[in-house]
């Protein structure tokens, strides 16, 4: 049975996250349905590089698909896309060796969070509008304090759902944490080995509190940023370049 690496973009606004759930519409569930229709098969495996929560988006989520088919990868991609809703799109499908695993082979993940400094009529679903002025120098100082191998227990949501396996450790390597201006947006880019449940949103929440002047960089995280501004930007594998520039997903002029 051939294995395909799928690179997927999606707007998560209408979905209850990546993973298939009973009585909920999810990204994986929509792709699963599309694969069944496109291939006529039900005996296949679709495995993502990681989960995104309800309302969270992806610019390049990665999954591997094991399905018995003689259809070439590009034709399979087009057939699956024909069955998907407009807010989910398979960007690429590549035939890969069976030893490739979308989750276990990932060496790093990069998330992008978009904070809007003005009200927007068009990008509300993809930003967090913060009305108060933000001191970016303070935010950058707080970001520097979070880079490295650290215990991020204070940034992990404690009431994780039953479907989530408890984390064995709250120690995470954050390799990069940048705060960048892009027009009317403030972009927070976080790159690391892996992330705890809601960790990125709590980091952003803490940095915004610091930027507002409501907290010190050393204070524990107390606020979780909304999911609307969060994108899974990239999943990196061995040998892939990591010097990808930080850019807005939905620019505000």
Which residues are designated catalytic?
53
First to last CA, the chain: 47
CB neighbours (10 Å) of residue 202? 22
Contact 27, 10 (CB under 8 A): yes
Contact 237, 107 (CB under 8 A): yes
Q: Find where tokens 């967090």 sit.
A: 128
Q: How far apart are CA 221 and CA 206, in angstroms?
A: 5
Q: How far apart are CA 198 and CA 178, in angstroms?
A: 18
The set of residues, in sequence order, having a beta carbon less than 8 Å from that of 160 and lying 6+ positions away, is 166, 197
Q: How far apart are CA 179 and CA 146, in angstroms?
A: 12
């Amino acid at each position: 049975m051939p294995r395909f690496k799928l690179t997927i973009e999606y707007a998560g606004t209408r979905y209850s996250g990546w993973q298939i759930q009973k009585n909920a519409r999810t990204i994986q569930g929509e792709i699963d349905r599309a694969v069944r229709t496109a291939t006529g098969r039900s005996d296949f495996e679709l495995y993502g590089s990681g989960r995104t929560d309800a309302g969270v988006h992806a610019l390049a989520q990665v999954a591997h698909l094991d399905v018995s088919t003689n259809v070439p990868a590009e034709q399979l991609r087009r057939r699956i896309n024909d069955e998907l809703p407009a807010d989910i799109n398979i960007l690429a499908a590549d035939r890969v060796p069976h030893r490739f695993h979308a989750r276990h082979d990932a060496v790093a993940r990069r998330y992008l969070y978009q904070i809007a400094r003005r009200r927007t009529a068009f990008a509300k679903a993809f930003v967090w509008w913060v009305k108060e002025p933000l001191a970016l120098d303070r935010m950058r100082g707080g970001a520097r304090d979070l880079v490295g191998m650290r215990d991020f227990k204070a940034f992990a949501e404690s009431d994780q759902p039953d479907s989530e396996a408890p984390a064995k450790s709250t120690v995470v390597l954050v390799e990069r944490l940048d705060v960048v201006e892009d027009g009317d947006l403030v972009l927070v880019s976080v790159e690391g080995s892996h992330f705890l449940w809601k960790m990125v949103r709590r980091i952003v929440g803490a940095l915004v509190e610091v930027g507002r002047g409501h907290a010190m960089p050393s204070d524990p995280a107390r606020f979780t940023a909304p999911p609307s501004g969060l994108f899974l930007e990239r999943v990196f594998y061995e040998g892939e370049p990591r010097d990808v520039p930080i850019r807005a997903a939905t620019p505000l002029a």
